[in-house]
Structure 1
């Protein structure tokens, strides 16, 4: 037998040792623990964590209502303000790269504190800014915080929640992002831009105080060998009278098997045992972003104006419709399942992009002029409704579930980085694509969403009602 064959045999044996006991031991697990539990600490921990999600949305929403006032007060050119707006995504990409290692090194709570520190520094830099440089430094810092939040918040919630509530609680992350954006839009029309920057400190303060009253992720504590803290955190989350022995034993067994595997590096993600998890996580992020969401979201006013629709009316309806549909998603995700929501959502995105593409095609060829505004409004509203119903929240839920804990840091960083790169690429290229062909741009997004449907059908598993350990063992079996 060659050295290569010895290594392959060893890897296969380790993988079998990891997956088979998990599949056998967990096949008949019930929801006894979660149904009998006193879950107030789970809810409190989720509320505290999603303050980071609200802060995320506040950072995104800040630049839109403040553009005219900032450019006037600080005498900025359009190019300078464009840099201020877009540099957020570069900070978020750096945050995404470092979020996983930070969360693995100092814990999920430590990572949230780090992100909050950057956001506080960023908002203060923006508030005291006298020119473009201070604005850009502040925006870059808040972007870094966003990048860390985008990974660690859904991961933390997934690791503390009972399996029957995990999807709904993790989806609250996306709901609070949308809420943060909407609140910034609304109060930004009333407050000065400096005062609006100070409001970004409010969720930061709530998060920092709240972290003193909630436990660390039990799975992370188990991973680093803090046995007493692990049991105390799990008992705190499930209630003092709840029997946690089964769940604790399951987590310990999984951690013990993972300890037999080496610590993962970025290149290790492409090993056979991890490849399917990585393909699922990265693939969902690609289809979420390259379906056009950030181009449409950032430039929705221009889209309505180009189609001959009142931009103010369209934007208000756009903002109003987003929140209730995202909220509805959080209530049904653990009943309907992840795959059905993504498939319904992606189908709606295809239909919406086709309608919008047809409206611009008719406009370009001076045909059926009365139909153009109707098709444009219908297309954009169906688009945001469909995105909010599934593709907005569910990929983050699935990403928080599918990675084994020994690769969760580097794999989560990779998936989040891909997401932010896609956000930048789409928002940067949107105007260029629209100048090339307005109808062609939307047809391109429709094609991407259609490919996403095929990807979900053929590659993405259903994770509803399963423990994190069951999901990861089945994916990597």
Structure 2
């Protein structure tokens, strides 16, 4: 990494003066750190939450006609069932807490939600199970990348966080594919497996060192960091950097609240984070994901053959993203993805060709969550995450509820609207979204808040 020519600074609200956010640091590029068993186990625990979330997202599309026929639901009742995940997401958006304790609860929540659906005899029980799963998935969407970003060294962070997104896309594809061949109750029982694994793993992983540093638990912070980096690793420079950054953050805002988000120094990361969430949804993400089966049927295609094609394309795109994230950066991949979704929406409008959209979506789907996990300072991370999750779920609810009506109004017009949102996203990414590859979280966050 090229050394910074100027030391980043941040304004102190107490006296109006500027002070260094980070101490002068040495070049640590030669100290690239490897994956350790504890780090891998911690990433796996977070990834299990993403596996559960992917199963939830992918569930409603392949089993739609099975459930409607067996339980005698109307199309409107089933649409409401599909949207209950987003309603649960709104509830989950405002839930916060200690990271590993939250993941422990999430594993149990996923298990209960799936069992509720698997044993459902009517719409009410289905909706309640979907609501529980929506709460868990909303928390996971933000919590998993934040946790992985905070525990992973910068040389591995892009690939590690991409793993959480890779597992989610893989589980969406797996659920969509398998759901085309097996009973909907059996598919719900399969959905309990990642939650069970996550429930067990959370007893063996450390808390986020940065979270421990923020709460003043220095001994636990250093012990957790050493456990993650390996017993023989030199963590002194990383400890010093995190401590110094945490000290400055505390001097700026000791008692953070939701109102701290609206200070001028946080304007850009808030715009970036919330903008990415909203534009991703308005580009049609949830409509394609939740109603792929309906789109195939409307286009006169075979649900099973279409499932295989979409699954393969999404897997290829997501694996490529994980492999290229730390080599080429987040911003170029995100730009390529939004251009591809725009082109894919245009083709879908003309001929219901979903493959280009699916491939582009799989490349860019998880990148907004990765960026959101990296850009917010410790003192507002919880509140900012809540706001971004709310933006994601409100816009998702709008898109999901409107999709069936829009499709009946005009299939081409629906996807032209999504293409228009993708055009806006292209300009938004080019103008405002930063590149975070190869930088520590402290360096990324200080670059936004400097005077």
Q: Is the 8 A contact 1:33 1:244 kept in 2?
A: no
State whether structure 2 residue 105 is matched by structure 1 residue 114: yes
Radius of gyration: which is bigger?
A: 1
Residue 469 of structure 1 and its aligned partner are, at CA, apart by: 0.3
Alignment of 1:395-410 (within 5 A): 395-410=368-383
Task: Tell whether the 8 Å contact from 1:33 to 1:238 is kept in structure 2 after alignment.
Answer: no
Which one has the bigger helix percentage? 1
Query: What residue in structure 1 maps to residue 405 of structure 2?
Result: 432
Deviates more, 1:467-476 or 1:317-326: 317-326
1:422/1:225 CA distance change after superposition, 3 Å:
same
Q: How does 1:23-422 map to 2 (within 5 A)?
A: 25-26=24-25, 28-35=26-33, 37=34, 39-98=36-95, 101-102=96-97, 107-260=98-251, 261-357=253-349, 359=350, 372=351, 376-377=352-353, 380-390=354-364, 392-422=365-395
Whole-angstrom distance in 1 between the partners of 2:180 and 2:346: 33
Which of structure 1's runs of 4+ aligned residues deviate more than 6 A?
none
The alignment of Structure 1 onto Structure 2 pairs a total of residues equal to 439
TM-score by length of 2: 0.92
Q: Counterpart in 1 of 2:423? A: 450
Structure 2: gaps of 5 or more residues: 1-10
Q: Does 87-96 or 427-436 show the bigger shift?
A: 427-436
CA contact (8 A) 1:33 1:242 kept: no
Structure 2 SS opposite 1:200: helix
- CA contact under 8 A between 1:301 and 1:312: conserved in structure 2? no
How far apart are residue 428 of structure 1 and its match? 1.5
Kept in 1: contact 2:21–2:446 (CA 8 A): no
Query: Structure 1 residues 15 and 230, CA, compared in 2 at 3 Å: closer, same or farther?
Result: farther
Closer/same/farther in 2, CA of residues 138 and 226 from structure 1, 3 Å limit: same
Q: In structure 2, do the counterparts of structure 1 residues 438 and 38 end up closer, same or farther at CA, with 3 Å as the change threshold?
A: closer
Deviates more, 1:66-75 or 1:339-348: 66-75
Counterpart of 2:5 in structure 1 is none
Structure 1 residues 185 and 303: CA distance shift in structure 2, 3 A: closer
Distance 1:240 1:109 in 2: 22
Three-state SS of the structure 2 residue aligned to 1:465 is coil
Q: CA 1:325/1:34 → structure 2, altered by over 3 Å: closer, same or farther?
A: same
Q: 1:11 maps to what in 2?
A: 13
> 2:242, 2:59 → 1: CA distance?
41
Cα 1:335/1:446, change in 2 over 3 Å: same
Q: Residues 216-268 of structure 1: CA distance to partner in whole angstroms, max 9, x if unpaired?
A: 11101111111111111100111111110000111011111111113332232
Residue aligning to 2:6: none
Is 207-216 or 121-130 further displaced after alignment? 121-130
Taking a change above 3 Å as real, the CA distance of residues 208 and 14 of structure 1, as seen in their structure-2 partners, is: farther
Provide the rounded CA distance (Å) in 1 between the counterparts of 2:348 and 2:28. Answer: 46
- Per mean C-alpha deviation after superposition, the further-off stretch among 457-466 and 299-308 is 299-308
TM-score (norm 1): 0.87
- Matched position secondary structure for 1:76: coil
Report how far residue 12 of structure 1 moved. Answer: 7.5
Q: Distance in 2 between matches of 1:180 and 1:97?
A: 25
Structure 2 contact 108–196 (Cα < 8 Å) conserved: no
Match of 1:459 in 2: 432
- The RMSD of aligned alpha carbons is 2.0
Alpha-carbon distance between aligned partners in 1 of 2:232 and 2:165, rounded to the nearest angstrom: 32
Closer/same/farther in 2, CA of residues 310 and 203 from structure 1, 3 Å limit:
closer
